[in-house]
């Protein structure tokens, strides 16, 4: 039977007087001048608190709380004169930063959020004001996927891709966009310089405008040709790895399980420890390594 997973918070949020919330750290004066603080301040002024504060009852009392997460938000609420704050009550006194456990939005997710907001009548100017950015930035994110095929966008939708990558993808035909997106994911490199290198190594017949194929700043035609060959080799190697990676990892996990079971035999462990201490240490390290099946 599956083990029950307990909730990290009470199901219902509460409204707590700010005077009854005890921060576990102070917001330094220099933080008030940071972009992050000003962005939160602008957002709270425009639309209020979106993400509730995280609190935990102080010494079992129901009216006073420790603040586990949301110190900047609390400081902003004080600055604008609010007296109460919406909070979630944690079921455990964990003092780690909750935001470290939150997955930040990727550029494509931001693009979808902006499209949805404008669809419901929120102006681009107001979005820019809430996020404290230039309207041009909002429009750039709004048009992010113009000229990018849906298959490539799907591959990159949860990845933190540099914005410059999308402008380079628009220069490629759909099939090449998909290939480049897969290469970005396979290498874990989502930077614009790497995408630019892939663009330079793209055959002319896979470009939207073949006449601009060789116009790559800082590269000679010979370097571009060499890069094309190297990229073709890299793609073949990546395809080969993809085909065999799953089976290899499965074999490694099974082998590790066998070694762990073997070392679980006290007689075997004792013998290896006495006569082959170096081998025993290596096998023990293999058995304790849990990174293969994560």
Any domain includes 251: yes
> What pLDDT sits at residue 75?
92
Any domain includes 237: no
> What pLDDT sits at residue 199?
85
In angstroms, rounded to a whole number, what is the distance separating the alpha carbons of residues 248 and 259? 16
Domain count, the chain: 4
113 shares its domain with 160: no
Name the burial class of residue 16, with classes exposed (0-12), middle (13-18) and buried (19+) by CB atoms within 10 angstroms of its CB: buried
> What pLDDT sits at residue 257?
84
> What pLDDT sits at residue 113?
85
112 shares its domain with 178: no
Any domain includes 228: no
> What pLDDT sits at residue 294?
46
179 shares its domain with 257: no
In angstroms, rounded to a whole number, what is the distance separating the alpha carbons of residues 231 and 216? 16
> What pLDDT sits at residue 153?
93
- Helix (H/G/I), strand (E/B), else coil: 33: helix
User: What DSSP element (H or E) covers 236?
Assistant: helix 221-263
CA 207 to chain CA centroid, Å, is 30
Among 93, 123, 144, the domain-final residue is 144
88 shares its domain with 153: no
155 shares its domain with 128: no
Radius of gyration of the chain, Cα coordinates, nearest whole angstrom: 27
> What pLDDT sits at residue 217?
58
Any domain includes 49: yes
Which distant-in-sequence residues (6+ apart) come within 8 Å of 197 by Cβ? Answer: 227, 231
Among 167, 185, 219, the domain-final residue is 219
> What pLDDT sits at residue 97?
46
60 shares its domain with 119: no
Running along the chain, 294 residues long, what does each successive block of 10 average in pLDDT? Answer: 64 88 86 84 80 83 83 91 90 58 72 86 84 84 92 92 91 92 86 85 84 59 66 70 75 85 85 85 79 51
35 shares its domain with 96: yes
Q: Which residues constitute the domain of residue 114?
A: 104-144
pTM metric for this prediction: 0.55
CATH number at residue 52: 3.90.1530.10
Residue found under tokens 């060789």: 214
37 shares its domain with 57: yes
124 shares its domain with 173: no
258 shares its domain with 190: no
Any domain includes 152: yes
Name the burial class of residue 287, with classes exposed (0-12), middle (13-18) and buried (19+) by CB atoms within 10 angstroms of its CB: middle
211 shares its domain with 264: no
136 shares its domain with 174: no
Any domain includes 203: yes
> What pLDDT sits at residue 224?
62
Any domain includes 234: no
Among 82, 113, 144, the domain-final residue is 144
Any domain includes 4: no
């Amino acid at each position: 039977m599956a083990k029950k997973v307990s909730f990290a918070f009470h199901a219902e949020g509460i409204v707590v007087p700010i005077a009854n919330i005890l921060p576990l750290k102070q917001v330094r004066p220099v933080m008030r001048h940071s972009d992050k603080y000003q962005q939160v301040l602008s957002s709270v002024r425009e639309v209020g608190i979106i993400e509730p504060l995280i609190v935990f009852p102080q010494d079992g009392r129901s009216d006073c709380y420790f603040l586990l997460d949301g110190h900047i938000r609390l400081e902003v609420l004080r600055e604008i004169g609010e007296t109460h704050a919406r909070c979630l009550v944690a079921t455990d006194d964990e003092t780690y930063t909750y935001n470290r456990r939150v997955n930040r939005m990727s550029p494509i997710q931001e693009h979808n959020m902006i499209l949805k907001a404008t669809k419901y009548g929120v102006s681009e100017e107001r979005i820019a004001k809430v996020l404290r950015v230039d309207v041009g930035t909002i429009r750039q994110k709004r048009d992010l996927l113009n000229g990018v095929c849906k298959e490539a966008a799907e591959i990159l939708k949860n990845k933190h891709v540099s914005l410059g990558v999308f402008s380079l993808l628009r220069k490629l035909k759909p099939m090449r966009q998909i290939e480049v997106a897969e290469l970005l994911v396979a290498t874990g490199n989502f930077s614009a310089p790497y995408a630019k290198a892939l663009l330079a190594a793209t055959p002319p017949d896979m470009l939207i405008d073949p006449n601009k194929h060789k116009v790559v700043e800082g590269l000679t035609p010979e370097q571009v040709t060499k890069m094309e060959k190297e990229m073709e080799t890299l793609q073949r190697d990546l395809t080969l790895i993809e085909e065999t990676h799953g089976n290899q990892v499965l074999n490694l996990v099974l082998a590790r399980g066998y070694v762990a079971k073997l070392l679980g035999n006290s007689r075997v462990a004792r013998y290896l420890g006495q006569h082959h201490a170096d081998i025993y240490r290596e096998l023990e390290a293999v058995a304790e390594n849990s990174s293969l099946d994560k």
